[in-house]
Structure formats: C-alpha cells, structure tokens
Structure 1
C-alpha cells in the first residue's frame, strides 16, 4: 500500500513540475520555437517534446548550472536542429501526381520499338512518310495534312492507306517496297 501511495505522490509531483514549467516558461518557449521553425504547429510539437525531456530529467533543472529557462531553450533548439538534420538526411518525399506518371524501370522495349518504327518509316517513299508524319506525329486531320502538304485530301487518304499497309507488311514479314510508288 505504501508503494502505491508513493507512486501516486511521484506522479502528482511530476504533473505539478510539468504544469509549473509550462505556466512559467511555455509562452517564451513557444515563441522561441516558432521563430526557429517558422511553423506554429511544429513549434507546439517542439515545446511538448521539450517538456517531456524536462519531465524525464528533472535533475537537470536543479543542478545549479544556469537557469531553468536557459536549459529549456537549449533543449528546444537542439530538438529543432535534430529535426532539420533528420529531414536533410532522408530523401525528399514526392507526392504522386496523376499528371506525371511514375518512371518506368526499364524503357529498353520502348526504345527498341521506336528504332524499329523509325527504320520502317525510312523504307517508305518520302510522299508516304510525309503523310504519316503529318497525320500521326503532328496530329493533323486529313484536311489539315492535305493543306500542309499541298495535295488533295483524297491523295492524303490514299497515301496513308498504302503507307500503313506497307508498314504492316514490314512488321509481319512481307516487305512491300513503296519507293517510287506514287499515290
């Protein structure tokens, strides 16, 4: 029973210590931590951690080496410094953004595909290649491609048909040469 009574008295004394420290030094501690962090919420966390450390080490408050407020302010500064160092040692977190897809681990397949398509386009006649470039790479409609190339829309449709057929044959193995074929 005496041990229980002793623990209750110790807990009451600890609570009184933290309450007294906060009442006497809380405002100054919060102002100092806010200046150091630039963030009120972070400063409140620093004050709370400072008071927890004071509760864990009450002997430091009465050791006769300087003032209690000086000790508390030093502890707060050290906590802020530790947090800054901890953030600096970790890589910066980047929030996911739907507009920026995650980086692919191995993009070799897409590079090979691009090379194969470019080689296949080189095998086409310049007229057929120009039509595909206008329609598929520049995103133009048949009418816009016809205006850009200076040919009738029907010619753009015909050339795109034969150019795509030649590309399909190239990729499936039946190489159809369109050099010299006009459409």
Structure 2
C-alpha cells in the first residue's frame, strides 16, 4: 500500500488544495473539450479521484501538477470519446462538436494564463474585455450591454489591455522599466 493509505488526511488536504488552485481552470478545460458542462464536471471529479490515488506522485514535486491534471482530464475525455465510438448507438447521437484530436496543450495553457490574468484586473476592465473579445461584441453592442457610453467602452478597453499586459508581464517587467 502507498503512503496515501497511511496519510489520508494529507491526501485529502492535497485534493482540497488542488481543487482550490486548479478546479476552475480544469473545469474550463474539460468544458471546452466536451462541450458539455455536466460531462466536464464528471471529468474534473474523476481527475481529482485519480489525483487522490496518485497523491504520492504529486507530492514528490516532480513535474507540473497542473500539467498532470490537464493530461489526466484530456485522457479521460479521449477515453470516453473512444468508448462512445466503439459501442453501437442505441439512440442517435448528435455530434455537433469536433472530435478531440492532437495535443493542443499550448492553447490551453495560454487560455489559462489569460483567465488568471483577467482575474487580476478590475471588474470594469474585465467586463469590457469579456464583451469585446470573448463575446465578440462591437463597441456599440458592448456599451449597450454594459449600460455605458461607447467612449467609455473604448477608454476602458484601452486601459484594460494595458493592465492585462502588465499582469501577464509579471513583477520582473516592473523592475526592468
């Protein structure tokens, strides 16, 4: 038996910490892969169960914990897709999303970095960026949605992008200036 059997409180604390630190990103990633929030929640739960079972490997400090979690989640989604593909369909399944193909970890990491950076800018800046870049709205549409004049949307987007760049550059960029 592994160390996790002798230290269940350590493994449980690890899972709580993993969920607190990576749960949101993991759910966003799984939702993107599955296209279904409920299925994504199942994938996150199973990923955390596997993390609990392999707590010793995660505690040894080798490699990226987030990378490990994302890999497990991707493998679970892939395994589920393969299982659906080999079993006969009892009811016609509608596939309106592309199958999971290849390794797109770089785009996932970039998305997570941007999501983390968005959490660090002001709510007003975040709202404008979400409206313009994630929802694809024009300045006029975003202004209407946010209940502010179009000039305010333009100004906020300018300063929001500056703030986002500063957050993403990190503290070492501040020292270099």
Could you tell me the TM-score, scaled by structure 2's length? 0.47
Larger Rg: 1
Which structure would you say has the larger RCO, counting Cα contacts within 8 Å and 6 or more residues apart?
Answer: 2
